[in-house]
Homo-oligomer: A and B are copies of this chain.
Amino acid sequence: MKFSSFGEKYTGRSGIVDLMADLGEALHTRPDMISMGGGNPARIAAVEKIYKEHLVQLLEAPDGAYEILGKYQSPQGDERLLKQLAALLRDEYGWPVTDRNVAISNGGQSAFYVLSNLLAGRFSDGTHRQIQFPLVPEYLGYADAGLEADFFTATKPAIDILDDHIFKYRVDFDNLVVPDTTAAFCVSRPTNPTGNVLTDAEISQLDKIAVANDIPLIIDGAYGTPFPNIIFNEVSPYWSENTILLLSLSKLGLPGVRTGFIVASEALIQAYATANTILNLACGNVGPAIAGRLFENREVLTISSKMIMPYYRDRALKTMELFIEALGDIPCYVHKPEGAIFLWLWFQQLPVTSARLYEILKAAGVLIIPGHDSFAGLENDWAHAHECIRVSYAQDDAQVRKGVEIIAREVRKLYEKA
C-alpha cells in the first residue's frame, strides 16, 4: 500500500504510539507488568464514586439518556457548559473570558493537533513556521503532531542542582532566541514529563516575549489549574488574551471520556471549532455532561484540591524517597516534584541509552518512558536526553515499591558493569 506524505509522517515510529501500545498491553493484556510508563491516572475510589453517581443520575433524569447518548454536541460545545466554565474562570481567577473564549475538544492531544497545525507548518505564501518549546524536555505526545518536518524548535534548559539527589530545570532566557519563523511558544505547566512547574516569573516573562514577537503562548494545563490542579507548590494560574490554555478531564480521573477544553481569544476559538468540525464532526457528550455537574457547584475545585492533588503529592514524595534510598550511591538526580503524576530521573553518564534502559526494564517487568522522545525540536543530539527516564507513580503503593526496586537493581547492574 502506498501512503501519502501525511501517511508516511503519521505511520512511522513514534514515542507516543509506543507509550500507548505499552499502556494498552499493561492495562489490558499483561496485568503482571508493572506500569510506570503511560499516563493513566491513579484510581482514587472516592473520586471514581462521585463520577459514577453523577453519570448514573444524568442517565436516570428525564431525557437524560437522549441528552448524553442520542444527540450531537454543537461545534464549539454546549453553550451552557461553555458559560459555566467561563464563569468559573472569571470568578476564581478574574480572567476576562466569556463562553466565546472557550471550546470543547476530544481531549488535549486532539486539540493540540488541530491548534498546532493551524498555527505552524507550511503557509500559502511559501514560508514555514514552527512551534517553539522554550524549555525541553516537553511532552512526547507533541513530537509527532506536526504535519510538516521541522515543526518544532527548542531551547535547552538551565539545570539547577538543588542537593545531592534533586535538580530542577529553568527556562534559559539568556539563550532563548526567537526566530522569525516561530509561530507560537508552547509549554506544559505542570510539565509532562518532568513534574516541573514553571514559575510565575517564567510564565510572565515568556508571555511578554511572545507578545513582543506577536505570537501566542500555548499553556498545556492538562495537569494544572483550575483542574486537576496537580501542583504541589504555590504558583498563580495564568491567562491572557495572548494565551491558548488547554485543559482536560483526563487527569481528573476521566481519560475514558476524551474531553478537553481550550481557553483562548475569540478568533482562535472560532477557527478551532470550524476545523474540529471538519476533522471530527463533533465531540462526545459524556465528558461534557459530567463536567457540567462538576462545574455547576464548583465541585471540580474541591475534588482537585482536596482529593486529587494531595493524593499525587503524597505519592510523589514517597516515591522520591523510595528512589533516593534504593539508588544509594548511583549518580542519579530526581527532578524536584512540583506537579503532574511523574518523577523524572536523570542518571548521570548512564552507561547505556535511555532507549536501551527501557528495553532492559521492560524485560525485567517494569514499563517506564525513556526520556529521549521528550526533546523534540533540539537541533543537535544532547547526551542528557539519553540519560533520563519518566516514571509514573500513579499505580498502587505495592506496585510502585516493587517497580522502584527493579529499576534500582537493573540500573545498578549497568553502572557496575561499566
The count of chain A contact residues (Cβ–Cβ below 8 Å) is 93
Complex-state Cα separation, A232 to B363, whole angstroms = 55
Contact A59 to B69, CB < 8 A, known contacts A7-B271, A10-B278, A286-B284 = no
Q: Mark A55-68, 1 if CB is under 8 A from B, else 0.
A: 11001100011111
Residues A270-288 near B (CB distance < 8 A): 270-271, 274-275, 277-286
Q: Report how many copies the assembly holds.
A: 2
When the two chains form their complex, are residues B282 and A258 in contact, meaning their CB atoms are under 8 A apart? yes
Known contacts A43-B70, A117-B7; is-contact A257 B279 (Cβ 8 Å): no
Give the chain B neighbours of A254 by CB distance below 8 A. Answer: 69-70
Whether B3 contacts A73 by the Cβ 8 Å rule is: no
**A41 CB within 8 Å of chain B:** yes
Question: Is A380 interfacial (CB 8 A cutoff)?
Answer: no
CB-nearest residue of chain B to A289: B256
Most buried by B among A6, A56, A253: A6
- Asked whether, in the complex, the Cβ of B70 is within 8 Å of the Cβ of A55, the reply is no
Please tell me if the beta carbons of A4 and B129 are within 8 angstroms of each other in the complex: yes
Distance (whole angstroms) from the CB of A328 to the closest CB of chain B: 35
What residues of B have a CB within 8 angstroms of the CB of A122 in the complex? 4-6
The distance from the CB of A324 to the nearest CB of chain B, in whole angstroms, is 30
Report the bound CA distance from A121 to B148 in whole Å.
14
Query: Once the chains are docked, how many angstroms separate the CA of A29 from the CA of B75?
Result: 13
Other than the given A1-B271, A52-B65, A70-B255, 15 more pairs (CB < 8 A) read: A5-B123, A6-B118, A11-B118, A16-B281, A27-B74, A28-B78, A40-B71, A48-B70, A67-B256, A68-B256, A69-B257, A109-B281, A113-B278, A256-B284, A258-B258
- In the complex, the 10 A-B pairs of residues with the closest C-beta atoms, listed nearest first: A24-B74, A256-B285, A109-B281, A10-B275, A52-B65, A7-B118, A11-B271, A4-B121, A258-B284, A6-B117
Residues of A within 8 A of B (CB): 1-8, 10-12, 14, 16-17, 20-21, 23-24, 27-29, 38, 40-41, 43, 48-49, 51-52, 55-56, 59-60, 64-75, 78-79, 106-110, 113-114, 117-124, 129, 141, 144-145, 147, 183, 216, 253-258, 265, 267-268, 270-271, 274-275, 277-286, 290
